[in-house]
C-alpha cells in the first residue's frame, strides 16, 4: 500500500500533467471555451489552472457549487458530462466535469470544460421561430460560480430562501437543510456557521436540523417507518 506521502506526490503529478492541457483545450475551441483545473485538497483555493473566461473566475479561486456536490459525494462521485446550466449573469453554458482520482480511487480534483453557448442558443431559438417550430425553452438551472466559498454558499442560500426562517414550519426547515445538503453546501468548512448566521439561528440548532434532515433522508432511502 502506498504511503500518504507517495499518494500526495502522485496527485501532484496528475495536476502537473493536466496543467498544459488546460491551455491546449482553450486554444483549440477558442474564446467561447473555459477550462478549469481544480484541486479539492484546498477547496477555498481549488482553482490551480484556468484558461478562457466564461464564468469569470481566476486561479486561486474557490470551487463552484458543482465542486461542492462532488466533494460531498466523496469517492462515489462520478463524471458529469454535457450538462447545460445558466450563470447568474444569464449566460447559457454547456459543461463537462471530469473527476480526478489517484491510484487508490480517491477523488481529489476535477477538470471542467465550460462552453458559452448563449449565442448558439439564441440563434437556434430565432431559426425555430422563423420556421414556425419554436417553443418555450426549458428553464435552465442556475449554477453558482465564485472566487470564494462564502459567496457561493450565500448565492445558494439566496435561491432557497423564499420565506423568513420564522415563517417556516418544521417540515419546511428540514426540507431547506436537506436541499442545501444535497447541493454539497455542508461539505465546505465553515458552511454550517455561515448558514446559521444567515438564518438567524444558533450553530447548535443548525447542526440539529442538519442531523434530522440526514436522518429522515436515510429513513426514506431504506424504507424505514
Indicate the Cα dihedral angle 148, 153, 158, 164, nearest 10°: -130
Q: Measured at the alpha carbon of residue 144, what is the angle toward residues 138 and 150, in degrees to the nearest 5?
A: 160
User: Which of 39-43, 106-110, 142-146, 194-198 comes out lowest in average pLDDT?
Assistant: 142-146
User: Which of 77-86, 125-134, 168-177, 210-219 comes out lowest in average pLDDT?
Assistant: 125-134
Torsion sign, CA atoms 173, 177, 178, 179: positive
pLDDT tens digits, one per residue of 168-179: 888 888 988 998
- Mean of the per-residue pLDDT values for the chain? 84
pLDDT tens digits, one per residue of 99-138: 999 999 999 999 999 999 887 776 656 666 666 655 545 5
What pLDDT was estimated at residue 107?
A: 96
Which string of DSSP letters, residue by residue, matches 20-60? HHHHHHHHHH-TTEEEEEEETTSGGG-EEEEES-SS---TT
Long-range contacts of 203-207 (CB under 8 A, 24+ apart): 206/177
* Structural element, H or E, at residue 92: strand 92-101
Task: For the beta carbon of residue 148, count every other beta carbon within 10 angstroms.
Answer: 13
DSSP state of 103: T
The rounded Cα 163 to chain-centroid distance in angstroms is 24
pLDDT at 204 > cutoff 90 = yes
Nearest residue to 121 via CA among 96, 144, 145, 93? 93
Q: Please list the alpha-helical segments (H only) found in the chain.
A: 4-29, 65-73, 118-130, 149-160, 170-182, 191-199, 203-222
What pLDDT was estimated at residue 104?
A: 95
Nearest residue to 39 via CA among 100, 104, 103, 106? 100
Amino acid at each position: 500500500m502506498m504511503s500518504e506521502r507517495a499518494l500526495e506526490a502522485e496527485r501532484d503529478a496528475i495536476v502537473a500533467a493536466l496543467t498544459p492541457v488546460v491551455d491546449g483545450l482553450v486554444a483549440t475551441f477558442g474564446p467561447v471555451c473555459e477550462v478549469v483545473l481544480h484541486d479539492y485538497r484546498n477547496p477555498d483555493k481549488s482553482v490551480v489552472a484556468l484558461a478562457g473566461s466564461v464564468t469569470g473566475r481566476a486561479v486561486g479561486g474557490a470551487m463552484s457549487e458543482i465542486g461542492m456536490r462532488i466533494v460531498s459525494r466523496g469517492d462515489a462521485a462520478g463524471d458529469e458530462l454535457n450538462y447545460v446550466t445558466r450563470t447568474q449573469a444569464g449566460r447559457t453554458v454547456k459543461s463537462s466535469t471530469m473527476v480526478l482520482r489517484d491510484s487508490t480511487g480517491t477523488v481529489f480534483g476535477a477538470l471542467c470544460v465550460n462552453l458559452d453557448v448563449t449565442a448558439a442558443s439564441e440563434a437556434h431559438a430565432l431559426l425555430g421561430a422563423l420556421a414556425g417550430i419554436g417553443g418555450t425553452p426549458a428553464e435552465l438551472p442556475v449554477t453558482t460560480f465564485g472566487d470564494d466559498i462564502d459567496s457561493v454558499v450565500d448565492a445558494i442560500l439566496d435561491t432557497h430562501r423564499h420565506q423568513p426562517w420564522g415563517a417556516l414550519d418544521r417540515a419546511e426547515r428540514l426540507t431547506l437543510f436537506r436541499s442545501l445538503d444535497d447541493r454539497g453546501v455542508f461539505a465546505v468548512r465553515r458552511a454550517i456557521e455561515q448558514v446559521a448566521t444567515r438564518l438567524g439561528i444558533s450553530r447548535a440548532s443548525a447542526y440539529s436540523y442538519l442531523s434530522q434532515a440526514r436522518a429522515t433522508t436515510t429513513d426514506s432511502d431504506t424504507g424505514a417507518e
